[in-house]
Every structure is written in structure tokens, then in C-alpha cells.
Structure 1
């Protein structure tokens, strides 16, 4: 289910042209060279850049800010 949702969102972004002319297109991501970044780094990075927060962090944000 998550994979289907992710694929759909990626297809929509491609159709909108969201990936066209990206500033870092063709360049290696600096974190990819970090041996300690772990396998989940890319997913966490993408979700963070999309403004996603886990529900528990959203609740903390509402409580403290």
C-alpha cells in the first residue's frame, strides 16, 4: 500500500515537472558518501524535504509551539 502511494505521488510529480531542472541534477548527494548514513537515509531525506513529520512529532509540535 505504501509503495503504491509513493509510486502514485512520484508519477504525479513527474507529470507536473517537479523533477525538471533541479539545482543538484546530475550531482552526487554529499550524504551518499557518508558510510554512517544507513540504508534509510534517502527515504528520511525525501520525507523531510516534503515537509512530512511522523504523527508523534506533529503532536509534539502542536503542544510546544
Structure 2
């Protein structure tokens, strides 16, 4: 169920788990969807630009740049 949709940023909730849905907006744009905490979901709903930080943190972990 979508609980937030603003400026291409979506917060979805499935079975009590929150997910961030966002398109990276690059030349070859890609849609990302990954699990986030309830606190992060609330932060995104207060300020959608917080989603950029979450996406960059997720990509850095995915690519092994941070642990």
C-alpha cells in the first residue's frame, strides 16, 4: 500500500515493512525500491529530499563502499 507519493518519491508499506521507491533520475534512469525503517519513512514524509540520502547510503552499501 502506498502511503506517500511526492515528487517521484514513494513510501510503501507491505506487511508492516516500509519501503522507499525512487527513481535516480540519471541519464539511464533506474527505479530503486528498498526496505527502510519507520523512522526513515517518517523523515521522508516530512522532507522528501531526505530520500536522496537514503538512496546514496543504500547504493554505497550495495556496491561495497561502506559496511
Q: Bigger radius of gyration, 1 or 2?
A: 1
Identify the structure with the greater helix proportion: 1
Determine which structure has greater relative contact order: mean sequence separation of CA pairs < 8 Å that are 6+ residues apart, divided by chain length: 2
Q: TM-score, normalised by structure 2?
A: 0.31
Q: TM-score, normalised by structure 1?
A: 0.32
